Amino acid sequence: MPMYSEKVMDHFTNPRNIGEVDDADGIGEVGNPVCGDMMKFSIKVKDNRIEDVKYFTFGCGAAIAVSSMVSEMARGKTLEEALKITNKQVAEELGGLPGNKMHCSNLGADALHKAIHDYKEKQGGKK
């Protein structure tokens, strides 16, 4: 078992915001079982802000903690702000990740961004 920070262990033990939002405005899925991690983020958007964000995650301790942290960081942010959340920030907020687990943090922000792009695409389609 890798050495995880207290914060990672906290988010792994008590992951926040698990689930899928009702009538999601945007959905972002990344990863696959071959690489070992898979995340599915769903968001509810109101007045250009992320009103609600939930996720399902298949993956290791780091992947679960990252999903939980990304959901907390994204909630209430404008779409532009949320798109600026970087993988590095997520890892920092978690008090760091072991070197070989950094790729997990990449997935978290990617899944969130994908959900936002999905929302934007759907909005574009409506116009």
Partner 1 sequence: MKTVNLDYTAATPVDEKVLETMLPFFREHFGNPSSGHSLGEIPREALEEARVKVGRLIGAEESGKDKIIFTASASESNNLAVKGIVAAGKRKGNRIITSAIEHFSILNQLKSLEKEGFEVVKLPVDKYGLISPDQLKEAVNDQTILVSIQAANTEIGTIQPLKELAAIAKDQGIPFHSDATAAAGWIPLNVEQLGVDMLSLAGDQFYGPKGSGALFVRRGVRLRPLIEGGIQEKGLRAGTENVPVIVGLGEAARLAHNSMSERSEQVASFRDKLKESLFNEVPHLHLNGHPEKRLPWNLNVSVEFVEGEALLMRLNMEGIYVSSGSSCTSQALKSSHVLDAIGLPPELAQGSLLLAAGLKSREEDIPYITEKMAEVASLLRMMSPLYHQYLKEAKNNANVQ
Interface residue with partner 1, options 11, 40, 113, 114 (CB under 8 A):
40
12 in contact with partner 1 (CB under 8 A): yes
3 in contact with partner 1 (CB under 8 A): no
CB 44 within 8 A of CB 51: yes
Q: Which of 30, 53, 74, 104 is catalytic?
A: 104
Residue 60 Cβ, how far from partner 1 at the closest point, in Å? Answer: 3
Query: Which one, 49 or 56, has the nearer CB to partner 1?
Result: 56
Task: Give the count of beta carbons closer than 10 Å to the beta carbon of residue 13.
Answer: 11
Stretch that binds partner 1, among 49-57, 72-80, 81-89, 114-122 (CB under 8 A): 49-57
Looking at the chain, how many residues does it have? Answer: 127
Closest CA to 59 of 86, 32, 96, 85: 32
Interface residue with partner 1, options 11, 43, 52, 61 (CB under 8 A):
61
Residue that has been written with the tokens 């207290």 in this structure: 6
> C-alpha distances in angstroms, 49 versus 43, 97, 122, 127?
10, 29, 16, 19
26 in contact with partner 1 (CB under 8 A): no
In whole angstroms, give the CA distance from residue 127 to residue 64. Answer: 36
Is 60 one of the catalytic residues?
A: no
Q: Residues interacting with partner 1, by CB under 8 A?
A: 1, 12-13, 15, 18, 20, 29, 32-40, 55-64, 100-101, 103
